[in-house]
Amino acid sequence: MQRDAILLTPGPLTTTERTKRAMLRDWGSWDSSFIALTSEVRRQLLAIVHGEGAHVVVPLQGSGTFSVEAAVATVVPKGGHVLVLDNGAYCKRLGKLATLMGRKTTILPHAEDAPVSPAGLDAALRVDASITHVGFIHCETGTGVMNPLQAVSEVCARHGKGLIVDAMSSFAALPIDAREVRFDALVAASGKCLEGVPGMGFVFIRQPVIDVAAGNSHSLAMDLHEQHVYMEKTGQWRFTPPTHVVAALAEAMRQFAEEGGQPARLARYTANCEALVAGMEALGFAPFLRPEIQAPIILTFHAPADPRYEFKAFYEAVKARGFILYPGKLTQLETFRVGCIGAIGPGEMKQAVAAVADAMREMGIASGAPGLHCPQRPRIAP
């Protein structure tokens, strides 16, 4: 039987056979067994961030972006003011959805090849006292840059501002400890580093924040306060839940624990990243980011300068060899992205590099080196 293509994307991801098989059972959404399954998933999610007692976790149907929008709508009052730290495409999406919900929104821009600045945030909060909340992307998936969660959290706490963290591409891989990092809401999803399937987001919210969030949301279906109250009372979802997605996540989380939890997952993704970078640099490709700010989640590479390179043809050639790449998200430079996450290891990453090399030979591309305007950055030891 032919192997499914390996997804080198930021999600959906390649999943294990065990996770896939978990979706073969049908569940009744009001049945006691599914209620127990939902409760166990929520308990285990809270344990990953050490949020027991101080935080709640509220699941929500839909993609991760649904839960980001729900978090902003639920946590930020209608008269609130959100400052978004922007160094990439998903930061801009956060700013856009906050604006569309009628919240006053200010964007604090940063370069796409640098982390957001805690010092810049501190200065902005000193200038504008009307800001109530800060929107922050932990790992900006548009480039792969790792932003400084702990430092940003400390600035927000010092100024008494709420912090909303999009941890979509970092949760369960990069360390996040709710006992050390103060946030009002932190958002993640089933189809990312937990290696479940897409279709469910979840939001960790500090208990005092959810307690006063009634009436903030503009939406019936995306009101996390109402979802939380209903789940605490009945154990059930308010509206039809993604039953098969929840079951797959429960199984994926069992495997997460068996592997060794977050430290082990980070170690595997780091090994994936190192294998990918070493192989791609040997072919001439240049990573977009400096290694010290690169999260081992997804890497952006400059497009080759060779005139025979065209992303769609390159993508199809690599796909024919069993690997799915991802287009770039930058507006000023031509790039493409390669993910390091999912149920894969360094062996698959080396196979992916071999597939890229074969595709280059097929296309007549001698080197992946970018043009002179995109010099390769010197690498440093991790």
Domain of residue 342, CATH code: 3.90.1150.10
Average pLDDT, integer, range 200-227: 97
The per-residue pLDDT of the chain, averaged, comes to 95
Same-domain pairing of 146 and 267? no
pLDDT of 299 strictly over 60: yes
Please give the sequence-ordered ranges of beta strands (E in DSSP) within the chain, or none if there are none.
Answer: 6-7, 55-61, 81-86, 104-109, 133-137, 139-140, 145-146, 162-166, 185-189, 200-206, 298-302, 323-324, 326-327, 335-339
Same-domain pairing of 248 and 267? no
More confident residue, 266 or 332: 266
Domain assignment of residue 311, given as a range? 261-363
Residue 3 is assigned to a structural domain of this protein: no
Task: Select from 352, 359, 353 the least CA-distant residue to 14.
Answer: 352
Same-domain pairing of 161 and 287? no
Same-domain pairing of 251 and 288? no
Q: What pLDDT is stored for residue 375 in this prediction?
A: 44
260 touches 84 (CB < 8 A): no
Count of domains forming the chain: 2
Same-domain pairing of 92 and 192? yes
172 touches 262 (CB < 8 A): yes
Confidence of residue 372 (pLDDT cuts 50, 70, 90): low
Confidence of residue 374 (pLDDT cuts 50, 70, 90): low
Confidence of residue 45 (pLDDT cuts 50, 70, 90): very high
Q: What pLDDT is stored for residue 330 in this prediction?
A: 86
Same-domain pairing of 196 and 231? yes
Q: What pLDDT is stored for residue 267 in this prediction?
A: 98
Same-domain pairing of 200 and 161? yes
Global confidence as pTM: 0.95
Neighbours of 99 (CB within 10 A): 15
Confidence of residue 329 (pLDDT cuts 50, 70, 90): confident
Two tokens at 67? Answer: 């839960």
Same-domain pairing of 123 and 93? yes
Same-domain pairing of 246 and 311? no
Same-domain pairing of 245 and 164? yes
Same-domain pairing of 237 and 335? no
pLDDT of 74 strictly over 90: yes
